[in-house]
């Protein structure tokens, strides 16, 4: 099983890398929607909520089909808002699927992330239930099919004393009580959605809930455009006295109807239960073999100065500061192993190098650099050294256009002493290639490293280091072309520097502006 799951995850990661690289070329890493799948889901659900509130004003439980038909007949607002409600709901399912695939491919579904994965599966289930109750509200032929097949499935369970399917098969529409209950569920279930979402992000520090403005404006604008140009029309009204030959269904929410109609109820239940069990059990069957699971970070309390930086930097709130009892500095860091994903970002945050996963603390990083420099494989003097994320561009790459690649588990783990040491060892320059911020497997690694290198975030790169010999770039995994361009530009800038020419290609914003840059300005 471990081999199969590993092969699955590797294949998924390969697909994801190629998709990310392609989308970065189309949209740039800042606006790549694949990186923002989680936040985009929230935006889409917000659109669904707002449009739903409008539709609620005009919906009547006593005449469900007729009231929706009146909404659809409203030129301008009603028809478009109903269409936007539908399209945003469908797009939300797409975004959820992309998000889940991404988390699986990046192996962010087990260990400390188990709660997020399981709550995510629950969230998907809630969204599907919301979709079903929403479609039943219309009481067209699709709604009737959903209600009948759903009732048939429930009747297979030894719960109800009479067949539920009778409610929808007696020759007359269900009573207003049924539509009231359905409407109540459709409105009340989002409360469960909010609770599940809170749990979903509860173990994240600083969860990103909103994508960049340009992106969500573009997404919402595109949905509005398709709602106006291709509005949803009314299907035929539900009629228990006729068996429609063709029913227009929404594949995102009614995908199970053909199977439920064709198979006995027990088979449909078995397939659904198996699929749910497989999804919920991903944290078990998709986790790496024991020897490949990273161990939690630990703190060397002799070195810890209680500066709280590791606690601040930890993306998973796995480090807490406790009071000391030995009369030294007030606080000491302590890692909660159950929350630690072994990302190693804490190692890069600690000036005295007192915290980090085994074999990846700041001291371990320096030791490896020194060993590398002393070996034949180490960088020769006068070469640019590329420090690259092993989960991003650095995966499987030993050099780029003659520049050796020093692979790290995450750009966020890089201790600034490593950069300084490379330059002292006569490296011509150090180019740090990190994954785009929203693609980082550990969420905040690239952001913290950039701030440590150029904006005095602890553990900052010392002023004694010539920062013009250090460059930082966001490069998606697999995007070797952009990496070569970045390396070429860096080499050109270094050549100008060495000739004593005006500072061509210098990142003036990073040099002069202590605030976090929004755009990289090249002079």
Q: Which residues bind other proteins (CB under 8 A)?
A: 25-28, 86-87, 90-91, 94, 145, 161-163, 165-166, 169-171, 218, 222-223, 225-226, 230, 232, 239-252, 254, 257-258, 261
Q: What is the DSSP letter of 237?
A: B
Alpha-carbon span 43 to 49, nearest angstrom: 10
Closest contact distance (angstroms) between CB of 189 and other proteins is: 21
Q: How far is CA 70 from the centre of its chain?
A: 39
CB of 231 to other proteins, least distance (A): 10
In the bound state with other proteins, the residue whose beta carbon lies nearer, of 86 and 491, is: 86
> In whole angstroms, how close is the CB of 89 to other proteins at the nearest point?
9
Per-position b or e across 235-248, b if 16+ CB within 10 A of its CB: bebbeeeeeeeebe
Minimum separation from the CB atom of position 86 to other proteins (A): 6
Residue 69 near residue 55, CB atoms below 8 Å:
no
Paired residues of 425 in beta bridges: none
Question: Nearest distance from residue 243's CB to other proteins, in Å?
Answer: 4
Strand partners, 388: 407, 433
Is 433:386 a contact under the CB 8 Å cutoff? yes
What minimum distance in Å lies between the beta carbon of 283 and other proteins?
30
Based on CB atoms, which residue is closest to other proteins, 55 or 355? 55
Strand partners, 384: 429
Nearer to other proteins, 245 or 499 (CB): 245
> Helix, strand, or coil here: 521?
coil
The answer, yes or no, to whether the previous bond of 340 is cis (omega within 30 of 0) is no
The DSSP output letter for 202 is: T
Closer CB to other proteins, residue 106 or residue 254? Answer: 254
In whole angstroms, the minimum distance from the beta carbon of 104 to other proteins comes to 21
Smaller CB separation from other proteins, 169 or 280: 169
CB of 271 or CB of 395, closer to other proteins: 271
Going along 391-498, which residue ranges are E strands? 399-400, 403-408, 429-434, 470-474
Q: Which is nearer to other proteins, 171 or 514 (CB)?
A: 171
User: Where does 390-496 show beta strands of DSSP type E?
Assistant: 399-400, 403-408, 429-434, 470-474
Closest to other proteins by CB, 235 or 461: 235
CA distance 331 to 308: 8
Q: Would you say 118 and 283 are in contact if contact means Cβ atoms under 8 Å apart? A: yes
Q: Looking only at Cα atoms, what is the longest distance across the chain?
A: 90
Q: Between residues 84 and 423, which has the closer beta carbon with respect to other proteins?
A: 84
Pairing verdict, β 403-408 and 384-389 = parallel
Q: Report which secondary-structure segment, H or E, holds 355.
A: strand 355-356
Token output for 393: 């561009």
* Residue tagged 């986790």 (tokens): 287
The nearest distance, CB 174 to other proteins, in angstroms, is 13
Q: What minimum distance in Å lies between the beta carbon of 210 and other proteins? A: 20
């Amino acid at each position: 099983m471990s081999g199969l799951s590993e092969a699955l995850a590797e294949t998924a990661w390969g697909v994801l890398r190629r998709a990310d690289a392609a989308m970065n070329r189309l949209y740039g890493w800042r606006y790549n929607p694949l990186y923002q799948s989680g936040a985009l889901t929230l935006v889409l659900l917000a659109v669904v909520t707002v449009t739903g509130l409008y539709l609620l004003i005009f919906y009547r439980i006593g005449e469900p089909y007729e009231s929706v038909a009146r909404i659809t007949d409203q030129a301008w607002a009603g028809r478009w808002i109903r269409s936007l409600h539908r399209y945003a709901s469908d797009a939300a399912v797409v975004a959820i699927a992309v998000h889940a695939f991404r988390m699986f491919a990046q192996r962010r579904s087990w260990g400390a992330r188990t709660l997020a994965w399981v709550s995510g599966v629950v969230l998907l289930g809630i969204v599907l239930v919301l979709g079903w109750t929403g479609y039943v509200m219309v009481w067209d032929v699709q709604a009737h099919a959903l209600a009948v097949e759903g009732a048939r499935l429930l009747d297979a369970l030894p719960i109800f004393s009479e067949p539920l399917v009778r409610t929808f098969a007696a020759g007359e529409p269900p009573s207003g009580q049924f539509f009231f209950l359905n409407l109540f569920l459709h409105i009340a279930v989002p409360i469960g959605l909010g609770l599940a979402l809170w749990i979903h992000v509860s173990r994240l520090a600083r969860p990103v809930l909103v994508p960049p403005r340009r992106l969500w404006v573009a997404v919402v604008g595109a949905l509005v455009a398709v709602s106006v140009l291709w509005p949803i029309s009314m299907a035929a009204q539900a009629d228990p006295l006729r068996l429609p030959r063709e029913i227009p269904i929404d594949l995102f929410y009614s995908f199970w109807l053909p199977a439920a109609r064709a198979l006995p109820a027990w088979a449909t239940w078995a397939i659904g239960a198996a699929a749910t069990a497989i999804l919920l059990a991903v944290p078990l069957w998709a986790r790496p073999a024991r020897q490949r699971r990273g161990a939690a970070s630990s703190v060397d309390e002799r070195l810890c100065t209680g500066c709280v930086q590791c606690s601040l930097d930890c993306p998973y709130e796995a480090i807490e500061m406790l009071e000391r009892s030995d009369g030294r500095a007030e606080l000491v860091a302590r890692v909660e192993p159950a929350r630690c994903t072994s990302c190693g970002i804490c190692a890069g945050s600690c000036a005295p190098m007192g915290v980090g996963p085994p074999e990846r603390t700041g001291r371990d990083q320096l030791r490896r650099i020194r060993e590398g420099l002393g070996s034949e494989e180490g960088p020769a003097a006068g070469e640019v050294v590329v420090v690259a994320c092993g989960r991003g561009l650095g995966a499987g790459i030993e050099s780029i256009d003659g520049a050796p690649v020093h692979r790290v588990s995450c750009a966020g783990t890089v201790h600034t002493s490593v950069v300084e040491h490379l330059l002292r060892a006569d490296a011509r320059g150090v180019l740090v290639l990190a994954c785009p911020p929203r693609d980082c497997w550990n969420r905040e690694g690239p952001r913290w490293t950039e701030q440590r290198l150029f904006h005095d975030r602890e553990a900052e790169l010392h002023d004694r280091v010539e920062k013009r010999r250090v460059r930082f770039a966001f490069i998606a995994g697999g995007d070797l072309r952009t990496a070569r361009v970045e390396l070429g530009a860096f080499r050109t800038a270094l050549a100008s520097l060495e000739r004593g020419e005006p500072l061509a290609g210098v990142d003036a914003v990073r040099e002069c502006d202590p605030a976090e840059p929004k755009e990289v300005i090249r002079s």
